[in-house]
Amino acid sequence: MKLTKNTIFITGGTSGIGRALAEAFHQRGNKVIVAGRRRALLDEIAAANPGIDTVELDIGDAVQIKRVAQQVIAKYPALNVVINNAGIMPFDDAGGALDDEQAVRLIDTNLLGTVRTSAAFIEHLKLQPEATLINNSSVLAYVPLAATALYSATKAAVHSYTMSQRFVLRNTSVRVLEIAPPWVDTDLIHKSGDPRAMPLDAFIAEIMQKLPEASTEVLVDSAKPFRDNAGPNEHAFVDQFNQLVTDNPIPVA
Ligand SMILES: NC(=O)c1ccc[n+]([C@@H]2O[C@H](COP(=O)([O-])OP(=O)(O)OC[C@H]3O[C@@H](n4cnc5c(N)ncnc54)[C@H](OP(=O)(O)O)[C@@H]3O)[C@@H](O)[C@H]2O)c1
């Protein structure tokens, strides 16, 4: 995709990867509309980045998604990029009790949020001469982290759905990209400065460098071993990864 002169709507833009992506695009001369639930952060982003527009949106609410999409499209008829970035990552226990409320919220946010937002914007995107739909999945779409089993499953589902979207939209003006981040040091779990987590600025710099040439997935180099399909050997790979994390736990606040 081109990195300038787009009109971009991004969900989960109040912090972490979403905010950094929004600001990187804003600095390159794109019109950026940032969505999120936290009004105070939206106001802070607008104040720090004159020209960025903001809108309150709970991605878990199907009615709100439709309403906000209609408002944004009416205000910005040139809108040509939608970035599905909002997400949450609670820990769970796939071998024990289920927190049903948390499970539903997780699927509503990470999976249905992406699906519903895509659907709310897609007919408009098809009318643009050049449009891009970007879904933020995770390397955990390819290698599940057992301690966040349902999160990993929602991201595998986002990866799968993205491939279907890419195929069905192949003869339209809409290109479909998937950003699959490795562990990036944000508040998703707990910003910890852990050396295993990629610093946010380095992650964004590499993604922005790779986006112009990307046609399917956008992966930083350090994420590629996760993506390399281990085929029938994936069980050993998944076990090895999870044993490593079990022995060296992720710091939680
Ligand atoms: N950091 C990593 O290691 C990593 C790795 C792989 C993938 N990812 C993915 O990257 C995306 C961004 O995560 P991040 O690391 O930047 O974490 P983050 O700083 O916690 O950002 C998450 C964003 O999602 C928004 N969000 C959460 N629930 C929402 C809801 N119901 N409605 C609207 N917005 C909601 C939050 O905004 P509000 O709270 O203001 O609504 C926030 O802006 C997520 O999809 C995550 O799964 C991150």
The two tokens of residue 170 are 């192949």
Q: Which of 71, 68, 30 is nearest to 51 (CA)?
A: 30
What does the pLDDT read at residue 98?
97
Residues of the chain with pLDDT under 70: none
CA–centroid distance, residue 189 to ligand 1 (Å): 10
Instruction: Check if 151 is active-site.
Output: yes
Break the chain into its structural domains and give their ranges.
Answer: 7-247
Atom of ligand 1 nearest to the CA of 183: 3
The predicted structure's pLDDT at residue 252:
83
109 CA distance to ligand 1 middle (Å): 9
**Closest ligand 1 atom to 105 CA:** 31
CATH number, span 7-247: 3.40.50.720
Contact (Cβ atoms closer than 8 angstroms) between residue 156 and residue 111: no
CA distances (Å), 202 to each of 129, 163, 182, 195, in order? 32, 27, 12, 13
Please identify, by atom number, the ligand 1 atom nearest to the C-alpha of residue 139: 6
Tokens 């281990």 sit on residue: 230
Q: What is the DSSP secondary structure assignment for residue 109, as one 8-state letter? A: I
- pLDDT for res 166: 98
DSSP strand E in 89-232: where?
Answer: 131-136, 174-179, 217-218
Q: Which helix (H) or strand (E) holds 55?
A: strand 53-56
pLDDT score of 192: 87
Residues with CB under 6 A from ligand 1: 11-18, 36-38, 41, 57-60, 85-89, 109, 136, 138, 181, 183-184, 186-188
Q: What span, in angstroms and rounded, lies between the C-alpha atoms of 37 and 11?
A: 10
**Predicted pLDDT of residue 183:** 97
